[in-house]
């Protein structure tokens, strides 16, 4: 399989000879509001044109509808007939945007030889759980392909640990920016939590994304690499791709 990190949580994936995209966020640099009054978002441009991000894709998976995971440009560029998978509760909004093939994944579903299983996720702690709303992760499985667990916008908590135990994924994708609002705890994984994933799944290759794209992030790629090195996590176990980078797995 191949994964290309576009930016933030947007991936172009080739899996079981099918091409799809996750959480398409295609806005131009500094065209959206700041989350922290530090800088307009996104902090960086795409590594290619928005049209190139969606060129040739056969389906999309949207973990939730926050604007940094499915934005206006993506809504306009994605073909309205595209197979679009989401969490229950988001299908109404997506259908209202004109998408004709929306599937809300309750537990698992099949598409072109790929099994998609929706997994629990928690977008923060305390009162932030309700404020941030419902989010999901997904596990991808197919014959002769690695099992991939895309954790999504989640902190490290018991249900994520349980998914790892149940599925024994070969590849785990984390959102590792340590994003925070004011004095909140991280609403996605920070360096310490990403390292906990690596330690819980020593058999897996962990790919850390959703970094250096938004102004509420607190963990850089260099920060994460240094923290992982200090804990003895080898570079081949924890991959931290740059925007635009291709990974062959």
pLDDT in tens, 87-134: 999 999 999 999 999 999 999 999 999 999 999 999 999 999 999 999
* pLDDT tops 90 at residue 196: yes
Per-residue pLDDT reduced to its tens digit, 42-58: 999 999 999 999 999 99
| 85 neighbors 61 (Cβ within 8 angstroms) | yes
Check residue 182 and give its pLDDT.
86
Task: Compute the distance between CA of residue 80 and CA of residue 99 in angstroms, rounded to an integer.
Answer: 4
Q: Which tokens hold the place of 228?
A: 């992982």
Which pLDDT band, with edges at 50, 70 and 90, does 183 fall under? confident
Q: In Å, how far are 1, 137, 149, 163, 239 from 249, measured between CA atoms? A: 5, 20, 14, 21, 11
What tens digit of pLDDT does each residue of 54-96 get? Answer: 999 999 999 999 999 999 999 999 999 999 999 999 999 999 9
- Thinking of the domain 2-240, which architecture would CATH place it in? 4-Layer Sandwich (3.60)
Q: Distance between CA 89 and CA 232 in Å, rounded?
A: 41
What whole-number distance in Å separates Cα of residue 246 and Cα of residue 5?
7
For the chain, what are the domain ranges?
A: 2-240
Any idea what the Cα angle at residue 15 is, between residues 87 and 179, rounded to 5°? 50
What does the pLDDT look like over 18-34, one tens digit per residue?
999 999 999 999 999 99
């Amino acid at each position: 399989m191949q994964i290309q990190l576009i930016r933030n949580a947007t991936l172009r994936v080739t899996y079981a000879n099918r091409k799809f995209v996750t959480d398409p966020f295609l806005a131009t640099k500094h065209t959206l509001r700041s989350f922290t009054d530090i800088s307009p978002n996104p902090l960086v441009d795409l590594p290619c044109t928005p049209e190139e991000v969606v060129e040739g894709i056969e389906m999309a998976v949207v973990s939730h509808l926050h604007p940094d995971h499915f934005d206006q440009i993506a809504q306009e560029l994605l073909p309205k007939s595209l197979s679009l998978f989401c969490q229950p509760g988001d299908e109404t909004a997506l259908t209202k945007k004109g998408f004709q093939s929306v599937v809300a994944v309750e537990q698992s579903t099949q598409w072109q030889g790929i099994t998609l299983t929706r997994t629990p996720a928690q977008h923060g702690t305390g009162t932030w759980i309700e404020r941030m709303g419902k989010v999901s992760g997904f596990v991808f499985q197919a014959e002769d392909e690695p099992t991939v667990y895309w954790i999504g916008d989640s902190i490290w908590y018991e249900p994520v640990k349980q998914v790892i135990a149940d599925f024994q994924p070969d590849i785990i994708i984390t959102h590792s920016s340590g994003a925070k609002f004011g004095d909140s705890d991280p609403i996605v994984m920070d360096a310490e939590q990403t390292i906990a994933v690596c330690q819980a799944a020593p058999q897996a290759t962990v790919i850390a994304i959703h970094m250096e794209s938004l102004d509420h992030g607190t963990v850089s790629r260099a920060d994460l690499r240094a923290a992982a090195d200090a804990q003895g996590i080898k570079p081949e176990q924890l991959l931290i791709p740059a925007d635009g980078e291709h990974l062959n797995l």
